Amino acid sequence: MTDKLIEIFADELMVEPSELNEDSNPDNTESWDSLASMRLVAAFEETFDIHLSTAEILKMRSISIARTVLKEKGVDV
């Protein structure tokens, strides 16, 4: 069973879910550039029906941090 959040990351970063873990971040993941960040924001907002502030967007520099930020917004991930 795949983790929903990892699935979104894999989709937007165009990699296999198995290539990602909680520590994945823009420095250790080649396809995670600023365009990918932008796509991730769009995907989170669409999927979870939330609105992220610029501060929250900038903070999400790893999968685990993204998970924390999303949980704080009441998303079950």
Partner 1 sequence: MGDLKLIKKRWRDHLRGGSDGPNDFSIGLAGSFTLDPVIPYLGGQLLGLGFDRPEVRNAGYNQIIQTCLSPNSGFGDQPLDLIALIWRLEDLADIQNIDSVIAAIELLEEALERLCSEFNGAIILSLPPRPSVQHSVIVKFSQPRDDLKAWHHACMLLMEKFADRSRVHFVDLEDIVSGLGNAAHDSRKYFLYRQPYTEDVYGALGESIARIVRARKHEPKKCLVLDCDNTLWGGIVGEDGVGGVQIGDDYPGSVFKTVQRQVRELKESGVFIAVSSKNNEEDAFAVFERRPEMVLRKEDIIVSKIDWRPKSENMKEIAVELNIGLDALVFVDDNPFEIEEVKANAPGVECIQVPEELADYPAAMVAAGKLFDRLVITDDDRKRVVRMRSEKDRKDVAQKLTPEEFLAQLELRVYVYQPEAEDLARVAQLINKTNQFNVLTRRHTLEEVTEFVQNEKNLLFCMAVADKFGEYGLVGVVMLSDNGEEWRIENFLMSCRVLGRGVETTLFAHIGDFLSSLGASHLRGGYASTPKNKLVADLYERHGFVRSSDSTYEQTGVEEWISPLPGKSRIPDYVELHSSRPQLT
11 binds partner 1 (CB under 8 A): yes
Residue whose tokens read 């296999």: 16
Least spacing, CB of residue 58 vs partner 1, in Å? 7
- How far apart, in Å, are the Cα atoms of 29 and each of 22, 23, 41, 60, 74? 12, 10, 17, 14, 27
2 binds partner 1 (CB under 8 A): no
Return the residue of 49, 54, 72, 74 that touches partner 1, per CB under 8 A: 54
Return the residue of 19, 22, 25, 41 that touches partner 1, per CB under 8 A: 41
Residue whose tokens read 């396809």: 31
